Structure 1
Amino acid sequence: MTATDVKTGAQASAVFMPPLTSSVRTIGAHTFDFSRQVAVMAIVNRTPDSFYDGGRTFALDRAVEASLRAVAEGADWVDIGGAPFAPGLAVPVEEEAERVVPVVAALRAASDVVISVDTFHAEVARRGIEAGATVINDTTGLSDPELAHVVADSEATLVITHSLASPRTQYPRPHYDDVAAEIAAFLRERIERALSAGVPEERIVIDPGHDLNKNTLHSLELTRRLREIAEIGLPTLVALSNKDFIGETLDRSRAERLEGSLAAAVFCVTQGARIVRVHEVAQTVAAVRMTEAILGMREPAYTRHNMGDANE
């Protein structure tokens, strides 16, 4: 290893505090200062074929229970989806709305937690907002041009994610000449689209889309260079939890990726991520809160050890 290699590695691992243009965000009933805190977003999929749980929360009562459990475990945010990202048959808009809206309504009746709807359809977004959602999480980078207008006409926040394929279609052998630079350029262009549609900058969040039309090497490099995304200046969300780049890196099944997911989440926080989207809430909350404290963003819950006349 050369001195240049060592220097490059050190630069990649140094802590990066993102230059946010609007760090204080009010989302629904909650205000976040993303210069000093990281939000944990819990995933609840009301789908029979979800990537991680294989339909465990497809039933309405199970989805509501999972949402409330996530809140009890410390989630700041619950993301509710009714259609997978992965290639497959399209879920009709009406069916997707019927899956998502009752969960949003039930959770909103029970909690003031931030609720997002994971959808790329403007009509599902509209109904989700009416039911109490305060964020629309679009994993397709505004593939439906009307979605940004729906968000603009509300008080909701919009998550813009990088992906290249049309919704639910194959994108074999994705290629990037410079993965981080190309993702940053894509996100900047989509931000301009959202702004043109009337969504104010202080209601936009960005997500580089780990594994979405990216292979494992792309996702690892994107993680390593995440600061180039965070430098855009808007709060950066990372959706890393149990993804295939973690499984392939560690040779672990989807049920065995917790440690890798936590490591990736913590590293991304040190590189500027301010929202992490996860399946295992309690473990991630602990990891994120500890990372915040190490970075000086958060005070310990209490301090007793060696603080008095007698050692503890």
Structure 2
Amino acid sequence: MPKATKKTLNCRGRLVDLAQPAVMGILNITPDSFFADSRVSLDKTVSTAEKMLAEGATFLDIGGYSTRPGAIEVSPIQEADRVLPVVEAILDSFPDALISIDTFRASVARQAIESGASIINDVSGGTLDSAMFTTVADLSKYMSIPYILMHMRGTPQTMQSLTTYKNVVTDVIDELAIRLVELRALGLKDVILDPGFGFAKTPKQNFDLLSHLDDFHLFNEPLLIGLSRKTTIWKTLTIKAEEALNGTTVLNTAALLKGASILRVHDVREAVEAVKLTQQLTFF
């Protein structure tokens, strides 16, 4: 089975082993995330984080700006006001927690890292804030901060009108490659790639990407896969997002079999179980 060549991440000087795939739990500090059960208020954040860590999450991904199609615009100040208290509250209770800040804004990313976050998860791959790449590079001069480079076109408000590709697999690979070259030129070492399921892609294109996920190993970088409860699952099955856990597990398993290094999920326990079971297969 194909796997990314790189098996470790340096998170603020802490080495994370990805020889066994890791799970990233989603904490949405927003009122309008597409999956209602993932919306976590500040007073419930620490207990939710505790549950995810106990269930086996390696990372916690905190976001204050919903990136669902047609999401409402939120100012950088509002976004920072949502996420920074959460980063600090979790680290007060769990100092060793590895927190990923889910933002496409350089200013929010910088503030979150300065508050103790360990990873920057940028859904725009640097396309929505021209200062993002230089900010990541600047922060990485003082501590190792992995950067998640996701593929997206347009904005959360426009992305679903930008789904025309000659070949979705090769086009996404080519567009990620351009951004990766820019990051390398800035000296960034730890980059995680995310094909961006659901971001400027139709359900058919998402299935095409998943079917050819092993093609992305040409980069020799870890792959993060975010399919949890997405439209591709529940529209295909004609169900609701609240009913899409089983479908999520099926597609997460497919991603693991094609070499995913990190699963970004709403449901940590089930994802950890998928990792443990697939790791028992003899072709790993």
Q: For this structure pair, what is the TM-score category when the shorter chain's length is used for normalisation?
A: over 0.9
- What's the CA shift string for 1:161-190, capped at 9, x where partnerless? 000113543532611121111111111111
* CA distance, structure 2, for counterparts of residue 274 and residue 295 of structure 1: 18
Q: Does 1:160 align with 2:149?
A: yes
Residue by residue over 1:14-60, the C-alpha shift from the partner in whole angstroms, topping out at 9 and shown as x without a partner, is x3233x2x3222224643333x2101000000000011126741x21
Q: 1:173 & 1:54 partners in 2: Cα distance?
A: 29
1:279 to 246, 258, 266: 266
Q: Please tell me the residue identity of whatever aligns with 1:67.
A: A
Matched, 1:73 2:55: yes
1:110 to 93, 106, 119: 93
**Identity of aligned pairs, percent?**
33
Is 1:215 the counterpart of 2:237? The answer is no
Per the alignment, residue 211 of structure 2 pairs with: 224
Tell me which residue corresponds to 1:5.
none
Matches within 5 A, 1:22-171: 22-28=6-12, 30-34=14-18, 36-53=19-36, 56-57=39-40, 59-86=41-68, 87-111=70-94, 112-143=96-127, 144-154=129-139, 155-171=144-160
Describe the superposition over 1:67-102 as per-residue Cα deviations: whole angstroms up to 9, x where unpaired: 222111110100000001122332110110010111
Segment drifting more, 76-85 vs 66-75 = 66-75
Match 2:184 to one of 183, 189, 195:
195
Secondary structure of the 1:211 match is coil
Contact 2:10–2:145 (8 Å) recurs in 1: no
Cα drift, residue 64 of structure 1: 2.7
CA-CA distance at 1:252 after TM superposition: 1.8
Aligned to 2:223, which of 236, 239, 250?
A: 236
Higher relative contact order (CA 8 A, sep 6+): 2
Name the residue aligned to 1:310: none
Q: Give the AA of the match of 2:206.
A: S
Contact 1:48 1:55 in 2 (8 A): no
The structure with more radius of gyration = 1
Post-superposition offset of 1:147: 1.2
1:168/1:128 Cα in 2 relative to 1: closer, same or farther (>3 Å)?
A: farther
What's the TM-score once normalised by structure 1's chain length? 0.84
Residues 164 and 266 from structure 1, CA distance in 2 versus in 1: closer, same or farther, beyond 3 angstroms? same
Deviations 1:176-230 (A, max 9, x none): 1211111111111111122223322xx1100000111101000011100001113
Tell me, yes or no, if the aligned pair for 1:29 and 1:114 is still in contact at 8 Å: no
Q: Check conservation: 1:56, 1:62, Cα contact below 8 A.
A: no
Runs of 4+ in 1 over 6 A off after TM superposition: none
Aligned 8 A contact 1:179 1:221 in 2: yes
**What TM-score do you get using the length of structure 2 for normalisation?**
0.92
**1:295 CA drift (Å):** 4.6
Equivalent-residue separation in structure 1 for 2:217 and 2:277 (angstroms): 21
Which runs of 5 or more residues in structure 1 are unaligned? 1-14, 298-312
